[in-house]
Chains A and B, each alone.
Chain A
Amino acid sequence: MLLRKIAHARAGDKGNIVTISLIARRPKDFALLSEVVTAERVSAHFRQIIDRPVLRYAIPHLCALNFVLYRPPSQSVTRSLALDAHGKCLSSVLLALSLDPLPPRNGEIPATQNPGWPRQID
């Protein structure tokens, strides 16, 4: 199951920082969100675009988590050559995180059965 099923998200930016809020669609899912979507898990998900571990803040009564991602200084909004220099699309990229248990890194599982796990394209 993808995170999108139980949560919605919005990304914002300041310089080389991207913030992503993650909010449970139903209050009863917040406990699962809070348990599974750890700062470590989000750091691993975005490891190719960040240069420091992700920070996580929680506001339990709003069923919300807030993540702070640090991109390299060369990837600030005004310097980045990326198509999405702000990183605004990254909220939806977070929602692609799989809530299923992580597969082994060198496992035999085909990518199609394993949508949360990135692999090289070429």
Chain B
Amino acid sequence: MELAAKGSVDWLVFECLAERTIALAQKERLLHPDAGYDPFLEERMEAVLPLCAKQGIGIVSNMGAANPVAAARRTMETARRLGLFGLRIAAVTGDDVLSEVRNLSPDELQGVPRQKLIAANAYLGAEPIARALAEGADVVLTGRVADPSMFVGILMHEFGWPADDWNLLGQGTLVGHLMECAGQLTGGYFADPGYGDVPDLAHLGFPIAEVAQNGNAAITKVEGSGGLISRATCTEQLLYEIQDPAAYVTPDVVADFSGVSIEGAGANRICVRGGSGKPRPEFLKVSVGFHDGYVAEGQISYAGPGALARAQLAREILSQRLRGYPLDELRFDLIGVNAIAGDVLPIIACPPQEVRLRAAGRSESRHAASMIPREVEALYTNGPAAGGGVVQTVRDSIGVVSVSIPRSAVAPVVQLEVS
């Protein structure tokens, strides 16, 4: 909202799709054929469409999730309801490659049984987005697309970048990669009081990239918004989820960030340049979602003197009571003691005053999995003294494995309609 209202931007990008989201959305779509896109699509479009239409701001988003066509249709209805006519709304499809993936060998499927597959989506690149924009789209809704590609598609369209200018695409991918997590570039996920302070994090401003024809960019945010853009925040985001900084693989390019420069250019303004690239891969990554049994969890707290000892006793009782159920996996954590880093962190000599025992497990049997939280609840009356605050969850587990398929097996399609 702030970016559309005060950012003087030409484009808004919403990146909303985590690794597992699309398999969850596909499950929705199987139940309701018109569902399967981002549940906040309508709310967000209602908020930004009037401003964007008035100012000619284009929108690109992967909120289409498992059903970009239904997302485009819903956006069309929203636009008309708001009195916005003549908007060109595009859906990019072709990422759904479930039928191709069903034909892979068991080895290629990494042991996932075919009958358990839910969804298989290839990471599309920037080209179909650029194509939709070339056809005049004001709003582009996609399913699975590599996150930086949404930005690269816009840059290819705006500047006429060829799809094989690897250095330009590498620099564009740098810009997209920095921008894709929004607030993580402007001081979100950074604050560590006393060491790395961020002003007014409650009103965190989202990033704006001012990109030149050659791909060089200045990163900034709306004046007066909260947060911080510094070399430190930009360097953290540059390396976020990156393995080899010289070989960041996307569908568009193998980007090289090893020569990137990040230079200050005034308050909350950073210039980034020096991204380059090598030819794009011939295979596309595919995220495959599958039914992976049931996961269940129960938690209970202990406090005061002896809290740790009582939580440890409760853990021992649970492990005995859960013996005999067909659980594929079972783990116990003492939250506040060892739940995050195991025994990596040293134990402080002073015993904790509050400990929360967590039991979590997986089973092919929903009943067996649900015994974990049931036995945690039974600790109230049948366990150590003064346990409290039990929570219980049982859910379907969706696993994700990554496979790759030849680029030639994937044919992105653009469908465009006018409101």
Beta-carbon contact of A49 and B344 below 8 Å: yes
**Among B232, B257, B334, B335, which residue has its beta carbon within 8 angstroms of that of A25?**
B232
What are the interface flags for A60-93 relative to B under an 8 Å C-beta threshold, 1 for contact and 0 otherwise? 0111101010000010111101111000011011
Q: What A residues does B189 contact at CB under 8 A?
A: 10
- Which residue on chain A has the smallest CB distance to residue B289? A78
Task: Using known A-B contacts A81-B360, A81-B361, determine if residue A90 contacts B341 with beta carbons closer than 8 Å.
Answer: yes
- Distance in angstroms from B340 CB to nearest chain A CB is 5
A17 to B240, CA, bound (A): 12
B346 touches A78 (CB 8 A): no
A120 at the interface (CB under 8 A from B): yes
Interface bits B297-329 vs A (CB < 8 Å: 1, else 0): 100000000000000100000000000000001
Which residues of chain B from 325 to 364 have a CB within 8 Å of any chain A CB? 329, 331, 333-335, 337-349, 358, 360-362
Q: Does B43 lie at the interface of the complex (its beta carbon under 8 Å from any beta carbon of A)?
A: no
User: Would you give the 0/1 interface string for A10-22, flagging 1 where the beta carbon is closer than 8 Å to chain B?
Assistant: 1011110101010
CB neighbours (8 Å) of A78 from chain B are 19-20, 292, 398-400
Give the segment of B62-70, B159-167, B241-249 that binds chain A.
B241-249
Number of interface residues of A (CB under 8 A): 53
Which chain A residue has the least Cβ–Cβ distance from B356?
Answer: A83
Task: Given A96-B345, A121-B343, check contact A14 B358 (CB 8 Å).
Answer: no
Question: Would you call A48 and B340 a contact (CB within 8 A)?
Answer: no
Q: Contacts A78-B19, A78-B400, A81-B360 given: A59-B258 contact, CB under 8 Å?
A: yes
Known contacts: A79-B292, A90-B341. The answer to whether A118 contacts B346 by CB under 8 A is yes
List the B residue with the shortest CB-CB distance to A66. B239
Residue of A nearest to B331 (CB): A81
Q: Residue B344 contacts which of A8, A15, A45 (CB distance < 8 angstroms)?
A: A45
Contacts A118-B345, A121-B337; A10 near B236 (Cβ below 8 A)? yes
The closest CB in chain A to the CB of B18 belongs to A77
Residues A83 and B241 in contact, CB atoms below 8 Å apart: no
B225-268 CB mask vs A (1 if < 8 Å, else 0) is 00000011001111111111110000000000110111000000
The listed residue (A9, A55, A111, A122) touching B346 by CB distance below 8 A is A111
Choose the segment among B6-14, B28-36, B53-61, B190-198 that binds chain A (4+ C-beta atoms closer than 8 Å): B190-198
Taking the nearest CB of chain B, how far is it from the CB of A82, in angstroms? 7
Give me 26 A-to-B residue pairs in the complex whose CB atoms sit less than 8 angstroms apart, sorted by A's number. Answer: A5-B195, A9-B236, A19-B240, A21-B239, A21-B240, A23-B235, A25-B195, A25-B232, A45-B344, A49-B344, A57-B243, A62-B262, A64-B235, A64-B238, A66-B239, A66-B242, A83-B333, A93-B340, A93-B344, A96-B344, A110-B349, A114-B346, A117-B346, A118-B344, A121-B334, A122-B312
